[in-house]
Amino acid sequence: MSTVAASSSRGVWEAGARAGYAVSGVLHVLIGVLAVQLAVGDGSGSADQSGAFAQVASTPFGAVALWVAVVAFAALGAWQAAAALSGVVGEAADRAKAAGKAVVYLALAVTALTFARGGGSGGGQTSDATATLLQAPAGRLLVGAVGVGVLAVGAYHVHKGVTKRFLDDLQRLPAGRPGRAARWSGVVGYVAKGVALGVLGVLFVLAAVHADPSEATGLDGALRTLREAPAGPFLLLLVALGLIAYGLYSFVRARFGRL
């Protein structure tokens, strides 16, 4: 009986984790759409997680959807935390990645909870947190280290997309066009997200070099910075479409991901 109960409990948590990947897909698609709007000249929305949650909150069933997001992200974060602590994922590096993912998904759950309860998340929070960090002993080194870390994560995403290592996270994909579409969504999505994270990492490094917290402006600020580069709107549009592709890949992972 205990074996049956354990299997049932695992099934519930696995379903929650898959729901988390699906909600992450919705979130990335919304961020991509906001980034497309930014690329074509409409900068009224914040092209980051807060902007996406705000979009959801404005819909008729937004409150319900946000509570679903809270539960799904919390379940996915707990699943990753359990994997990191139990050693299910094997090597130390894999356990560290699982721990990092747990922090990200639990933070998303908290952000979704804020919006579900009628609050919001201001776009200046990243700058405020950076300002606090800069005031700490060796603060500039700490901010610079954060920037280098984000750059490394961005490079990892690009590498994972180009080499198609993300396929290791999936079970056998369908044959034919659906399978090819799933693979391309992963390639394009991982590379685009890596580029966005790379720009974000550069902004943190610049904030450390110049001791100016206003330069660390989060994902929305990174995308706006990309828009100001030569051929920026075109580059931003490519990244935006890539973020939408990453969202579509997240749906694939929700269905075919190894857990």
Q: Cβ neighbours of residue 82 under 8 Å, at least 6 residues apart?
A: 13, 88
Q: Residue 189: name the closest of 146, 258, 253 by CA.
A: 253
Q: Which domain holds residue 196?
A: 123-259
CA distance 87 to 108: 24
Does 149 reside within a domain?
Answer: yes
Does 53 reside within a domain?
Answer: no
Structural domains counted in the chain: 1
Does 55 reside within a domain?
Answer: no
The whole-number pLDDT of residue 1 equals: 44
* 3-class state of residue 238 by DSSP: helix
DSSP secondary structure letters along 41-100: T--SS--SHHHHHHHHHTSTTHHHHHHHHHHHHHHHHHHHHHHHHHTTT-SHHHHHHHHH
CA distances from 94 to 85, 103, 106, 247 (A): 11, 14, 18, 23
Q: What is the pLDDT of residues 85-104, one digit of tens each?
A: 876 556 777 888 888 899 99
Does 187 reside within a domain?
Answer: yes
Q: How confident is the model at residue 254 (pLDDT cuts 50, 70, 90)?
A: very high
Does 57 reside within a domain?
Answer: no
Does 33 reside within a domain?
Answer: no
165 pLDDT above the threshold of 90:
yes
Does 83 reside within a domain?
Answer: no
Q: Residue 17: name the closest of 78, 89, 65 by CA.
A: 78
The whole-number pLDDT of residue 44 equals: 72
192 pLDDT above the threshold of 80:
yes
The dihedrals phi and psi of 249, each to the nearest 5 degrees, come to: -65, -35
The whole-number pLDDT of residue 258 equals: 86
Q: How confident is the model at residue 133 (pLDDT cuts 50, 70, 90)?
A: confident
Does 184 reside within a domain?
Answer: yes
